């Protein structure tokens, strides 16, 4: 019952209510905006379809009527029937084009006097051009008398006056249309200003609702979650810091997170311990604690890739180790390996690498300057182990010695420095040479150091 009551009064219910109110307000505002823009669109559409087209037609008609004057002069100045017919065809086409533009313009006009003047001027102009064409034929044929020539001049003057009248009428109509467009533009501006004011009011209301919603969630949601985040971001998380006051879902979330943190911390402690153990075992011998074969191979390649100086590779083998195992048992044998590893490590320098390869065999990698340096280091190592017997029970000493075979790995040159395969090949070649020199030390009586050169 308490969980159901918490759900009804919790964060989810409050979020649904607030979100619904803001969404409803936004929907109403969008609806009003859509209606306002619909009205503006209809007004602009009407303005574009009717008045603007009428204005463009008036301007084009004014231009066309002005061109009639120049075409009339070309007709009057015709010297032969070919020029006359060409000018007449051009005038006829121009009359037809003016007629196409005039009819839609006049049919939409409510000024009867303007319509009558335009139609009358058009008919008179066509009649004058027809009469002027007849008189020009007589003049070109040589049959015109003085009266005909005077009539030609009179008709030409009348045509210019009629064309001017038509141009003035079209200019008057264009001015009237421009005046109507200006008035409609002002009405559109007033309507747009009103809609802007309405939008500003609606936007302010919506913004206030959003800000209030944001403040509510900031106080009741964000800050509480931030307190949990800050508690989780600390290096050492205290589960008690995740306690949150309230009766909503955030309280349930905090309780769940606190339980997870406690389980995770316990699991991390176990995993960290296991990881450290595995990381050590991956590159170290579990018995002696020395580096293993994998660690040795990687370290050897890094040293060779530096190309700073030659490296001495030494294989160290415990003498008569099988006899130690057979005589004293494997437990003493393991102790003997640990004893040799400890004294060998303490007898090497900080830059030297010592690894156990398996059984009683150890491998050392020593940065050296000369073969004499390598010989001295290995002799000191052999003598150190010989001079430190391992103590068994009842104070009985167990003498241990080692045989060492060593060789020098020359400094790689050129592409070999960046080629892991070539570096590995150099190491394996050195291992074979050192192994051969180790067998030579065993054959010569053990507890010896034998050197194999890079060419042997």
- Residues 207-234 have pLDDT tens digits of 887 787 777 777 777 777 777 777 777 7
Select from 164, 186, 210 the last residue of a domain.
Answer: 210
- Same domain? For 189 and 319 the reply is no
Q: Which residues of 343-377 are buried (b: 16+ CB within 10 A; e: fewer)?
A: bbbebbeeebbbbbbeebebbbbbbbeebeebbeb
The CATH number of the domain where 304 resides is what? 3.30.70.270
- Same domain? For 307 and 400 the reply is yes
Minimal CA–CA distance to 216: which of 11, 441, 427? 11
pLDDT value of position 87 = 65
Q: How far apart are CA 221 and CA 250, in angstroms?
A: 8
- Same domain? For 191 and 305 the reply is no
pLDDT value of position 439 = 95
Select from 156, 190, 210 the last residue of a domain.
Answer: 210
Task: Select the more confidently predicted residue: 11 or 385.
Answer: 385
Strands (E), 223-323: 311-318
- Same domain? For 322 and 435 the reply is yes
pLDDT value of position 1 = 41
Minimal CA–CA distance to 363: which of 279, 289, 296, 282? 296
Q: Mean pLDDT over residues 62-74, rounded?
A: 62
- Same domain? For 304 and 446 the reply is yes
Task: Select the more confidently predicted residue: 43 or 4.
Answer: 43
Burial class, 185, CB count within 10 angstroms (exposed 0-12 / middle 13-18 / buried 19+) = exposed
Is there a contact between 36 and 195 (Cβ–Cβ < 8 Å)? Answer: yes
Q: Residue 115 belongs to what domain range?
A: 2-210
Minimal CA–CA distance to 117: which of 178, 156, 162, 67? 162
**Local confidence band at 13 (pLDDT 50, 70, 90 cut-offs):** low
pLDDT value of position 70 = 64
- Same domain? For 305 and 174 the reply is no
In a domain, 287, yes or no: no
Alpha carbon of 15 to those of 2, 9, 207, 214: distances in Å? 20, 10, 17, 11
Select from 182, 210, 238 the last residue of a domain.
Answer: 210
Is there a contact between 242 and 231 (Cβ–Cβ < 8 Å)? Answer: yes
Mean pLDDT computed over every residue of the chain:
77
**Local confidence band at 88 (pLDDT 50, 70, 90 cut-offs):** low
In a domain, 246, yes or no: no
Report residue 86 as tokens. 């060409």
Q: How far apart are CA 262 and CA 237, in angstroms?
A: 9
Q: Mean pLDDT over residues 354-380, rounded?
A: 89
Q: How far apart are CA 310 and CA 307, in angstroms?
A: 8
The CATH number of the domain where 187 resides is what? 1.20.120.230
Q: How far apart are CA 315 and CA 227, in angstroms?
A: 61
In a domain, 279, yes or no: no
pLDDT at 11 over 70: no
Return all residues near 433 (Cβ < 8 A) that are at least 6 apart.
Answer: 407, 452, 453, 454, 456
Beta-bridge partners for 366: 312
Secondary structure letter of residue 319 according to DSSP = T
Task: Select the more confidently predicted residue: 86 or 357.
Answer: 357
In a domain, 408, yes or no: yes
End-to-end CA separation in angstroms for the chain: 90
CA dihedral 186, 189, 190, 191 (to 10 degrees): 120
Minimal CA–CA distance to 405: which of 361, 352, 356? 361
**Local confidence band at 168 (pLDDT 50, 70, 90 cut-offs):** confident
Element (H, E) at 361: strand 361-367
pLDDT value of position 223 = 74
Q: What is the DSSP string of 378-429?
A: HHHHHHHHHTSPEE-GGG-EE---EEEEEEEEPPP-GGGGG-HHHHHHHHHH
Task: Select the more confidently predicted residue: 216 or 271.
Answer: 271
In a domain, 250, yes or no: no
pLDDT at 378 over 70: yes
Q: Domain total for the chain?
A: 2
Is there a contact between 377 and 348 (Cβ–Cβ < 8 Å)? Answer: yes
Minimal CA–CA distance to 105: which of 158, 44, 64, 163? 64
Q: What is the DSSP string of 76-140?
A: HT--SHHHHHHHHHHHHHHHHHHHHHHHHHHHT---HHHHHHHHHHHHHHHHHHHHHHHHHHHHH
In a domain, 114, yes or no: yes
pLDDT at 128 over 80: no
In a domain, 202, yes or no: yes
- Same domain? For 298 and 203 the reply is no
Provide the percentage of residues in the chain whose pLDDT is more than 70: 69
In a domain, 281, yes or no: no
Provide the percentage of residues in the chain whose pLDDT is more than 90: 21
Q: How far apart are CA 370 and CA 94, in angstroms?
A: 111
Q: Mean pLDDT over residues 437-448, rounded?
A: 94
- Same domain? For 179 and 51 the reply is yes
Task: Select the more confidently predicted residue: 314 or 309.
Answer: 314
Cβ atoms < 10 Å from Cβ of 250: 19
Residue-wise pLDDT for 276-302, tens only, equals 777 777 788 889 989 998 889 888 888
Task: Select the more confidently predicted residue: 55 or 282.
Answer: 282
**Local confidence band at 436 (pLDDT 50, 70, 90 cut-offs):** very high
Q: What is the pTM of this model?
A: 0.47
Q: How far apart are CA 419 and CA 314, in angstroms?
A: 23
Q: How far apart are CA 148 and CA 140, in angstroms?
A: 12
pLDDT at 407 over 50: yes
- Same domain? For 13 and 146 the reply is yes
Of the ranges 58-62, 183-187, 198-202, 270-274, which one carries the lowest mean pLDDT score?
58-62
């Amino acid at each position: 019952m308490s969980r159901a009551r918490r759900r009804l009064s919790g964060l989810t219910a409050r979020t649904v209510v607030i979100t619904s109110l803001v969404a409803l307000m936004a929907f109403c505002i969008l609806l009003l905006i859509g209606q306002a823009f619909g009205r503006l669109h209809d007004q602009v559409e009407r303005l574009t379809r009717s008045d603007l087209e009428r204005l463009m037609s008036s301007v084009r008609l004014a231009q066309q009527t002005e061109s009639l004057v120049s075409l009339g002069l070309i007709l009057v100045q015709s010297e032969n029937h070919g020029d006359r017919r060409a000018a007449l065809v051009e005038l006829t086409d121009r009359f037809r084009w003016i007629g196409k533009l005039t009819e839609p313009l006049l049919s939409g006009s409510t000024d009867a006097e303007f319509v009558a003047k335009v139609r009358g001027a058009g008919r008179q102009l066509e009649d004058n051009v027809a009469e002027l064409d007849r008189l020009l034929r007589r003049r070109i044929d040589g049959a015109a008398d003085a009266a005909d020539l005077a009539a030609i001049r009179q008709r030409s003057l009348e045509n210019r006056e009629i064309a001017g009248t038509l141009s003035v009428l079209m200019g008057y109509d264009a001015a009237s249309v421009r005046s109507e467009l200006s008035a409609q533009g002002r009405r559109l501006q007033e309507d747009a200003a009103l809609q802007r004011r309405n939008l500003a009011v609606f936007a302010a209301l919506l913004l206030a609702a959003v800000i209030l919603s944001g403040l509510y969630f900031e106080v009741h949601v964000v800050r509480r979650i931030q307190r949990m985040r800050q508690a989780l971001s600390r290096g050492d998380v205290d589960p008690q810091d995740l306690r949150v006051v309230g009766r909503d879902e955030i309280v349930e979330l905090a309780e769940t997170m606190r339980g997870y943190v406690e389980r995770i911390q316990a699991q991390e402690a176990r995993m960290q311990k296991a990881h450290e153990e595995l990381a050590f075992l991956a590159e170290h011998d579990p018995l002696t604690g020395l580096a293993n074969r994998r660690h040795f191979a990687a370290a050897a390649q890094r040293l060779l890739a530096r190309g700073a100086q030659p490296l001495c590779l030494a294989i160290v083998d415990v003498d008569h180790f099988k006899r130690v195992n057979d005589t004293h048992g494997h437990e003493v044998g393991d102790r003997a390996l640990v004893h040799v590893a400890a004294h060998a490590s303490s007898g090497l320098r900080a830059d030297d690498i010592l690894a156990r390869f398996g059984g009683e065999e150890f491998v050392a990698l020593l940065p050296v300057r000369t073969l004499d340096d390598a010989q001295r280091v290995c002799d000191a190592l052999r003598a150190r182990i010989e001079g430190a017997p391992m103590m068994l029970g009842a104070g009985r000493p167990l003498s241990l010695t080692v045989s060492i075979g060593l060789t020098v790995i020359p400094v790689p040159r050129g592409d070999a420095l960046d080629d892991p395969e070539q570096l590995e090949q150099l190491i394996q070649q050195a291992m074979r040479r050192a192994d051969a020199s180790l067998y030579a030390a065993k054959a010569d009586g053990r507890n010896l150091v034998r050197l194999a050169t890079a060419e042997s």
